[in-house]
């Protein structure tokens, strides 16, 4: 009896998966691009939840929509560009969406948003409401 491993016979032609092994998969494309197409930075400061989103090259009046529903703040942006040169025209477009959960005590009636130099700034006032943790009793079957 031999302890040598069995040899695998391979075709002269590579497997289709081998051809694409060095390329990033579509599923990992988001992580290769930084996971989200809209970069967001947020912090709680001076009793407000402050959020900044980088959305350069858009008209905030026409291309950006900010909504809040059930404690979720959603930013939608659509970018389109058309260039014409020497009888040729090229266009590019894309839409982006990013949602974040607002912290406890967020006052969605007082939200303010501004846009300057490609940066969308959103300020959400926070109410002084500390939510106490509630202990849940565990039933056991004995």
* Confidence category of residue 26, pLDDT binned at 50, 70, 90: very low
Task: Report the candidate in 105, 111, 122, 108 with the shortest Cα–Cα distance to residue 38.
Answer: 122
- Cβ atoms of residues 83 and 90 within 8 Å: yes
pLDDT of residue 81: 77
Task: Report pLDDT digits (tens) over 96-113.
Answer: 899 999 998 899 899 999
- Cβ atoms of residues 51 and 100 within 8 Å: yes
* Confidence category of residue 29, pLDDT binned at 50, 70, 90: very low
What are the residues whose beta carbons fall under 8 Å from the beta carbon of 92, sequence distance 6 or more?
79, 80, 81
Q: Which domains does the chain have, with CATH numbers?
A: 37-125 (2.60.40.790)
């Amino acid at each position: 009896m031999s302890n040598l491993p069995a040899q695998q016979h391979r075709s002269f032609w590579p497997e289709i998966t081998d051809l694409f092994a060095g390329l990033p998969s579509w599923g990992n494309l988001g992580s290769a691009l930084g996971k989200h197409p809209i970069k967001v930075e947020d912090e709680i400061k001076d009793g407000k939840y402050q959020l900044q989103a980088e959305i350069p090259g858009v008209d905030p009046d026409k291309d950006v929509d900010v909504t809040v529903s059930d404690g979720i703040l959603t930013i939608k942006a659509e970018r389109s560009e058309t260039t014409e040169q020497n009888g040729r025209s090229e266009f590019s477009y894309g839409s982006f969406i990013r949602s974040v959960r607002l912290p406890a005590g967020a006052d969605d009636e007082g939200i303010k948003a501004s846009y300057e130099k490609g940066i969308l700034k959103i300020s959400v006032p926070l109410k002084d409401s500390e939510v106490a943790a509630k202990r849940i009793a565990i039933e056991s079957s004995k």
